[in-house]
Amino acid sequence: MNLRISSLALFWAGVLMFGVIILLGGLAETVNNSVFDTFFAVLVASGILSLLASFVQAWRSKDNRILLSLALLGVLVDVIFIAVAFSGVAGEATLMIFFLALPISVLTTLFFLILYLLARRRVAKTVPTEATSAPLSLDEAVNSGQARPTGHGLGMKVLVIVFISGLVALILAFVFRELPFVEGYSNLFLLRLTPLFAGMVIAFHYLKRGVSPLVRGASAICLVLLFALAGYLFYTFQVRWNEFKAGIPYTPQLPASMSTNISTNTDVLSVKGLLPVEGAPVDDLERWKTYRNERYGFAIQYPSRGWEVTMRGNGEAVRATTQAEVFTITTTDGTEDSVAFDIATLGSDRLGSYYASAKNVSDYLKLIPATDQNGRTLRKFIQMITVDGQEAYWYQTYVWAVAKQKYVWSSKVYWQHGNDIYEVSISDPLANAVSSQILSTFKFTK
């Protein structure tokens, strides 16, 4: 196997390893196993080293195909993400593609920029300034006209493909920005850097060539617009990043066609300690399983059939903006009916600076957005209830159901125990009354 093939093999092997890393990432959150952690770390290191080796091999062997592979990979990520996001496929696959797109797109961008700049440097050394139409290659012999292009260089056609695909992805992401994962994808500056850079190269190319004043003027305008778009994306990225670091909660945008008349049906949950509601399946509580959390001192029961408990890490309190539960009691049939527990500790660094002023659960709730970006109602206070003798706030709200690919009605219950704030999300309780029956079994053990 020669060096040119080796560079491509290393590159795609690195991409494959990063795909496996994403797939195993979910397990890394729940599995506390030193062997698994070691394997995961080795896989991450191998993926990075493989990509770095492919870069070095491509540069040393003048392998132009690595440039084409990087460009096409960026296009492929966009195409797959858009296809999955707008096809109505169950959300597990959508989110997997989204998180797979993040590291691949960032690495693609960095490799693309580095190799492109190095190739331009070689072109500048070997090609006369008047030969502006020469192919962009890592091989000086091709740049100087002493050898024929292999067809794998980064020519104008590839730049146009990269630019158009990225532009289409941005437009679609803007049109369908009501989907939360699409909005997040479009606002990440690094993911859009490669197509914008390709567009700038195209505009700059025609700006320098001996073409008509009209074409040069259009190229100059396009160049300014692309720089402005890049600046806007960078600004939005910085705003979102600063909000994330401060712990500011994400505010979604509800679809315009969606009704925001939140139900105030108090029959959904019993006021007296969240007792089983009418219509809940009769089940012998003595045969239910019990989940105990020794760290926070509580226990809760759940049906022995069709339900299971999944935990994040060691069941520790997490930062409010992570959108990851300490533990979740969920159905095993894939319907996403669940009772999810988040625990936030007042005064903790994990809570984020946005919530630093909160002294109690009432202060905490005032900081959570009640409307979306257009002022439409996201959540509504229903009434005070009790959970194991503790006063609790009952809200009804809209949340994004990943598996159902739509916003659904949900209940959230908040209460304080010591310095810990408990946030319990009951997914679609109107459709599954067992969820509120599960919450009625919650008891503090210390």
Q: What is the DSSP string of 406-423?
A: EEEEEEEEEEEETTEEEE
Average pLDDT rounded to a whole number, residues 48-62: 72
- For residue 297, pLDDT over 80 is answered with yes
Identify the band that residue 6 occupies on the pLDDT scale cut at 50, 70 and 90: low
Cα torsion at 371, 372, 375, 381 (round to 10°)?
-20
Report the DSSP beta bridge partners of residue 384: 393
* pLDDT reported for residue 211: 66
Terminal CA-CA length for the chain: 66
State how far the Cα of 262 lies from the Cα of 378, in Å rounded to an integer.
9
- SS3 at position 217: helix
Predicted confidence (pLDDT) per residue in 33-43, tens digit:
566 667 777 77
Identify the band that residue 47 occupies on the pLDDT scale cut at 50, 70 and 90: confident
* pLDDT reported for residue 313: 47
Which range scores top for mean pLDDT: 103-117, 135-149, 224-238, 287-301? 287-301
Residues 21, 44: contact at Cβ < 8 Å?
Answer: yes
State how far the Cα of 290 lies from the Cα of 142, in Å rounded to an integer.
71
* pLDDT reported for residue 380: 79
Task: Residue count of the chain, please give it.
Answer: 446
* pLDDT reported for residue 273: 39
Please state the pTM of the whole predicted model: 0.51
What phi, psi does 405 have (nearest 5°)? 55, 45
Buried/exposed code over 333-350 (b: 16+ C-beta within 10 A; e: otherwise): eebbbbbbbbbbbbebee
The per-residue pLDDT of the chain, averaged, comes to 66
- SS3 at position 56: helix
* pLDDT reported for residue 52: 75
Domain spans, the chain: 62-246, 285-444
Helix ranges (H only) for 247-290 are: none
State how far the Cα of 81 lies from the Cα of 79, in Å rounded to an integer.
6
Which range scores top for mean pLDDT: 39-48, 178-187, 291-300? 291-300
Q: Extract the runs of DSSP E, i.e. beta strands, from 171-262.
A: none
Looking at per-residue pLDDT, the higher value among 368 and 183 belongs to 368
Predicted confidence (pLDDT) per residue in 242-274, tens digit:
666 655 555 555 555 555 555 544 444 443 334
- For residue 135, pLDDT over 70 is answered with no
Residue 357 identity (one-letter amino acid)? S
Residues 384, 393: contact at Cβ < 8 Å?
Answer: yes
Q: Which residue has the tokens 């509601």?
A: 277
Looking at per-residue pLDDT, the higher value among 202 and 292 belongs to 292
State how far the Cα of 319 lies from the Cα of 342, in Å rounded to an integer.
9
* pLDDT reported for residue 266: 45
Half-sphere exposure of 32 (CA within 13 A, CB side): 6
State how far the Cα of 84 lies from the Cα of 97, in Å rounded to an integer.
8
* pLDDT reported for residue 90: 42
Residues 351, 248: contact at Cβ < 8 Å?
Answer: no
Identify the band that residue 335 occupies on the pLDDT scale cut at 50, 70 and 90: low
* pLDDT reported for residue 287: 76
Of the listed ranges 112-126, 137-151, 221-235, the one predicted with least confidence: 137-151
* pLDDT reported for residue 359: 84
Which range scores top for mean pLDDT: 95-104, 131-140, 378-387? 378-387
What phi, psi does 153 have (nearest 5°)? -80, 175
Identify the band that residue 134 occupies on the pLDDT scale cut at 50, 70 and 90: very low
Identify the band that residue 397 occupies on the pLDDT scale cut at 50, 70 and 90: confident
**Domain 285-444 maps to which CATH number in 3.40.50.2300, 3.40.50.20, 3.40.1000.10, 3.40.50.450?**
3.40.1000.10
What phi, psi does 22 have (nearest 5°)? -65, -40
- For residue 363, pLDDT over 80 is answered with yes
Report the DSSP beta bridge partners of residue 300: 291
Average pLDDT rounded to a whole number, residues 220-239: 80
* pLDDT reported for residue 392: 87
State how far the Cα of 57 lies from the Cα of 63, in Å rounded to an integer.
8
What token pair was written down for 92?
Answer: 């597990």
Report the DSSP beta bridge partners of residue 341: 327, 424
Containing 155, the helix (H) or strand (E) segment is: none
Predicted confidence (pLDDT) per residue in 369-392, tens digit:
777 666 667 777 878 888 888 888
Identify the band that residue 365 occupies on the pLDDT scale cut at 50, 70 and 90: confident
Report the DSSP beta bridge partners of residue 247: none
Predicted confidence (pLDDT) per residue in 64-78, tens digit:
666 666 666 666 666
